[in-house]
């Protein structure tokens, strides 16, 4: 019987070499999710979320070194040559909405011209006009937007264009890196409604965000990332109702609730440097429940639907 796993990441590490220093951006990350499931990756800025997405897309900078395994429908992404990956997988099977991408549209070309360049780059053989119009309509935009330049449309429309570009080659998996950042609340809601609609139509999504509230609208599974590691992983429902890692608890407590009036208490301190990450639990200096044994590397404890890396659940 064919495996139902769409994406499996095993012991993935990504290290950047910069000015003679090594930055451990992703540190031995392991997770998987099935077809028709979506995954949320949550954590503070600089925790390695975006690097994880770029590693899956094989679009890391040249100064990055990667180890571990990434399997997409059983095929090893890391062992696939760049030319084969570009030909068969990138944008066709897996695409990505990059962080801040709405500002990366070329200001001197119309939206239509930029769509045409994507299709040309990936040797699209079908009806280009029909494909572009279908992609635009799928994100709730009308045909006239194609003749406009980026500066002539709003931030929300730019973000919809970016989503349409990620979908034009009809991939099965889309990595959305902070797709609602820098958008007003109304436009954020529109983008989330759009992503949920696309998910209902069969698209798998990896949603990267610092906002667990947004992730809860999309994902069946969630990975909590801290200082390059996934410290808790499991079904969304279990993690929301019964979070186990102190960092997960702190993230959930930071979400404003309409029914509650208590003041939100910010998490004190800063994440550790990834240039020389400390031994033991990386949340030790900020954890209200830290113990002496937490200075040792925490065990990976199996939970009902995933795992948690914490001595409290030994």
pLDDT at 181: 76
What kind and span of H or E run contains 156? helix 155-167
Number of domains present in the structure of the chain: 1
- Residue 235 CB partners (closer than 8 Å, separation 6+): 220, 221, 222, 304, 305, 306
| Burial of 92 from C-beta contacts in 10 A (0-12 / 13-18 / 19+) | middle
Treating both helix axes as pointing N-terminal to C-terminal, what angle do 111-121 and 128-138 enclose, rounded to 10 degrees?
Answer: 120
Degrees to nearest 5, angle at CA 99 with 93 and 101: 85
The residue segments making up the domain with residue 81 are: 5-302
Q: Is the residue at 165 inside a domain? A: yes
pLDDT in tens, 84-127: 998 899 999 999 998 776 678 999 999 999 999 999 988 898 99
CB of 27 closer than 8 Å to CB of 13: yes
Residue 149: CATH number of its domain: 3.40.50.300
- pLDDT at 260 (0 to 100): 67
CA pair distance 171, 43, nearest whole angstrom: 26
Cα distances (angstroms) measured from residue 267 to each of 115, 252, 285: 43, 11, 11
Q: What is the Cα Rg of the chain in Å? A: 20
Q: Write down the pLDDT at residue 2.
A: 40
Q: How far is CA 90 from the centre of its chain?
A: 16
Is residue 313 one of the residues assigned to a domain?
no
Per the domain annotation, does 152 fall within a domain? yes
* 248 is a domain residue: yes
Encode the chain (314 residues) as per-residue pLDDT tens digits: 344 458 999 999 999 998 889 999 999 999 998 877 899 999 999 999 999 999 999 999 999 999 999 999 889 999 999 999 988 999 999 999 987 766 789 999 999 999 999 999 888 989 999 999 999 988 889 999 999 999 999 888 888 899 899 989 989 999 999 988 767 788 788 888 888 988 998 889 999 998 888 899 999 999 999 999 999 999 999 999 999 999 999 998 887 776 766 677 778 888 999 998 889 999 999 999 999 999 999 999 999 999 999 999 98
Asked if residue 244 belongs to a domain, the reply is yes
* Residue 308 is assigned to a structural domain of this protein: no
Q: Is residue 100 part of a domain?
A: yes
What single string gives the DSSP state of each residue in 78-120?
Answer: TTS-HHHHHHHTBTTTEEEE-TTGGG-S-TTS-HHHHHHHHHH
The reply to whether 311 falls in a domain is no
């Amino acid at each position: 019987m064919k495996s139902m796993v769409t994406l499996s990441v095993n012991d993935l590490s990504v290290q950047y070499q910069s000015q003679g220093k090594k930055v451990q951006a992703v540190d031995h990350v392991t997770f998987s999710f099935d077809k028709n499931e979506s995954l949320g990756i949550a954590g503070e800025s600089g925790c390695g979320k975006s690097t994880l997405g770029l590693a899956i897309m094989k679009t890391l900078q040249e100064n990055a070194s990667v180890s571990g395994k990434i399997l997409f429908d059983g095929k090893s992404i890391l062992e696939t040559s760049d030319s084969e990956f570009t030909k068969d997988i990138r944008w066709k099977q897996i695409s990505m909405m990059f962080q801040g991408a709405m500002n990366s549209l070329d200001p001197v070309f119309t939206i239509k011209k930029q769509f045409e360049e994507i299709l040309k780059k990936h040797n699209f053989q079908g009806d280009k006009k029909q494909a572009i119009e279908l992609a635009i309509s799928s994100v709730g935009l009308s045909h006239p937007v194609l003749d406009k330049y980026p500066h002539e449309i709003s931030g929300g429309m730019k973000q919809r264009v970016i989503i349409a570009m990620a979908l034009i080659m009809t991939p099965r998996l889309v990595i959305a890196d902070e797709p609602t950042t820098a958008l007003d609340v109304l436009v954020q809601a529109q983008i989330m409604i759009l992503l949920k609609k696309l998910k209902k139509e069969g698209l798998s999504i990896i949603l990267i965000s610092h906002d667990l509230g947004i992730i809860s609208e999309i994902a069946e599974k969630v990975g909590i990332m801290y200082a390059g590691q996934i410290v808790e992983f499991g079904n969304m429902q279990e993690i929301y109702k019964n979070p186990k890692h102190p960092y997960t608890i702190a993230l959930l407590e930071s979400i404003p609730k309409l029914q509650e009036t208590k003041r939100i208490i910010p998490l004190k301190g800063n994440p550790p440097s990834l240039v020389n990450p400390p031994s033991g639990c990386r949340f030790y200096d900020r954890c209200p429940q830290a113990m002496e044994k937490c200075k040792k590397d925490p065990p990976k404890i199996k939970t009902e639907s995933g795992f948690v890396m914490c001595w409290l659940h030994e």
